[in-house]
Amino acid sequence: MEFKDFSLFDPTPEHKALRAMVCEFAQKELEPQALEYDQKEQFNQKLFQRLGNLGLLGLMLEENLGGSKMDATAMIAVHEELSFSDPGFCLTYLAHSVLCVYNIYRNANEEQKKLWLPALCSGDTLGAMAMSEPNCGTDVLAMESTAVRNKDHYILNGRKMWITNGCLNDNKTPCDFVLVYVKIQNQISSFVVEKSFPGFFVGQKIKDKLGMRASNTAELVFDNCIIPKTHLLGREGEALKHMMKNLEVERLALAAMSLGIAKRCFKEMNKYSLQRKSFNKSLRSFGQIQKYLAQSYAEYQSLRSYIYNLARQIKEDGSENYRLDCDAVKLLAGKLAKDIADRAIQVLGGYGYVGEYKVERLWRDSKLLEIGGGTNEALEKNITKDLEKWV
């Protein structure tokens, strides 16, 4: 069975071709390695570089910068299809292409874009974004990392925690570029830090994560790290608005990841319930299983429509505010992905409890989507505040 597509999901021939290409890549190259890299707790760097060859790392950037000049609908289609096979790998992709590349694209000057983006879009370099700290996550205004101007450079001090793509597989080498948020005189600013800068190193790789194990997570340390003034994005003190705007795109992409997990888990339990016999009947002939299938299908299709309709509205210049719905769709998506994954395990029984049958890994991966990029509790606070305008 295949889900029927409408113009909302693939509005142009280019979108349809993009989805077909990503599906083929996921099936032939991503799917066979997913369990192995989850067990090794490493990201597949060689396969990640293939995304650059496919034009996926700068999906919404101009072609002269190495991009593919597509839109938010294309972006979420890629996240949905990659997460269908390997959400951990997709998280690496999101941190690079959305949190780092797209952030630089939106907020850097023309010289900075030409200097950094082509290599990031080709896959020759790996990027990350560093916001959370050991003592602050959701409360970004409480961050303690600071930068001080000293003639033609800045001196950065602080620690960043839970950084996706923060280190390579040797656990010691940081990624090539990290977009870092810090305070300058109590106002948030952002810098692009290169791995060669003195005073910048990996504190530790975060191991034994519940899920998303195919994506490296690290603590990054800045100890009197010297950063040229040319690596400041925008002006001092204006990065908070950059951060908030990029969070909208990030939350939409994370919702698309949840969508991919939900679709895969539904397909696995639907297929298994047809093949499995119990008491001389197909498993799907029992009312309890029918409830799981029907509920999951309805939730998946509802979520899919919400996500793609929202993506269709987003203007490429970032001129409008979509926080309410980006928060709401991520809040809904994270819960539904976990619920559908949980039902899939229940339908598969003992088989669902082991890695070979995939839904166990997807269930573990789904939990991060209720935490990373904005916790459920933070989203509920934001949504409630924004809904005051509706009264």
User: Which of 57, 31, 39, 159 lies closest to 117, judged by CA?
Assistant: 57
- In angstroms, the Cα distances linking 150 to 21, 153, 182, 196, 242 are 49, 5, 16, 19, 24
Q: Distance (Å, rounded) from C-alpha 322 to C-alpha 88?
A: 26
What's the number of CA atoms in the CB half-sphere (13 Å) around residue 145?
31
User: Which of 136, 78, 83, 129 lies closest to 105, judged by CA?
Assistant: 129
Whether residue 250 lies in the annotated active site: yes
SS3 284: helix
In the chain, the DSSP E strands lie at: 127-130, 146-150, 153-164, 177-184, 187-194, 200-205, 217-228, 277-278, 281-282
Strand partners, 156: 147, 225
**Tokens of residue 304, six digits:** 């899919």
Sign of the CA dihedral running 24, 27, 32, 34: positive
Count the residues in the chain.
391
Catalytic: which of 80, 133, 250, 268? 250
Q: Torsion angle of alpha carbons 318, 320, 324, 325, nearest 10°? A: -70
Active-site positions read 250
